[in-house]
Structure 1
Amino acid sequence: MRWLFGGLAALIILVIVYVGSAVASLGNLADAVRSGDGAGVIVRTDVKSLTQSLADQIVAAYLERIGQTREIRPSERMLVRAAGLGIADAMIAKMLTPDHLTQLLKTGKLDGVQDLPPIAGLPQLGTIDTKNVLATLGRFRFVEPVEFAVRISDTTDADSYSEIRLHFAGSGWQLAGLVLPSRVARELAATLPVK
């Protein structure tokens, strides 16, 4: 019986450390965003995964847009997806500089960047009170053992909903995804050329 209680206590401690480390990492990321520390934000970001996350959303919105005017064949969908990812990657590379990413997460907008449409309407990561652990945990959603989603929008409405993805990579949790509000993804996709 003692073995059972010891195992249960160890499991509870592991879960607390596991979730607590994610909450602490979110707090450190939010602090870097609030202070405008672009280098600190990039250190806490898996840029490759974040790029892929944004590119997938922009291309999906692009395919949805051209699908409204005509049917897209599966082979065409694959070609458009491949070409669109290349174009979207170039756009996203400009968004993910240390200063631009920090500005986007801090203010919810990004403008005045050459060859990039103005972006506005993203929730601000810095407004989350990460010191209030219970409220912060209410924003967490388990995705898989090495990934949490954290809602940064105040609403769950699809056009306004936004979340970040924290992924455990080696030594800690990193920003690995940003779910854009649908409206923002559509606006970015609208800048891609229609074929």
Structure 2
Amino acid sequence: MIPPALPRPAVPGLFLALEGGDGAGKTTQAALLGAWLTALGCEAVLTREPGGTALGRVLREALLHGEDLDPRTEALLFATDRAHHVHSLVRPALERGAVVVTDRYIDSSLAYQGGARGLDEAEVRGLSRWATGDLLPDLTILLDLDPAVGARRREGAPDRMEREADAFHVRVRERFRALAAAEPDRYLVLDAARAPEELHAAIRERVSVLLPGGPA
């Protein structure tokens, strides 16, 4: 059972997270969403985990391109990045009224370190919620894609996560879908095999009702 989140402190900003397996198109959709928000006159802050801060870039290199890590160390390093990311970038942006769009957030830890690595999900969730002061997105957009299709989309040398076996990526996908099914009001689940423009239109439609002033 998912424990209830603490009430989020009232801030004028909007917090959006893009989730999904490798190759699902999160980077593309973040860029399209940022351009649309900017055209509406919003301050759009595009970021990612790991790597949204200077410290995060160091941790990203270690996590994705460094030596092999045991699951607990991996989970702790992702939580370290997330704690610093929220404290130094996400919360300040929300407090000044920005729309923050992050490529990956807590659900990625639940899907990768919990669902795929086999760590206790309640412990992983508790660690991330403690690290972030219980800050959850206003909307999580799950780009759902067959891992085999995602693998064919990748360019360049695979990172440490991308090199995992097919069964690992299947477990990641299954856990993402289960998380979304458990909290449907906070998720928008989209078939990431659709054209990028179609996905962007669906995201725009959902996000527009969350913006100040209603649909845009």
Query: With structure 1 as the length reference, what TM-score do the two structures score?
Result: 0.28
Greater relative CO, 1 or 2 (CA 8 Å, sep 6+): 2
Query: With structure 2 as the length reference, what TM-score do the two structures score?
Result: 0.27
Which one has a bigger Cα radius of gyration? Answer: 1
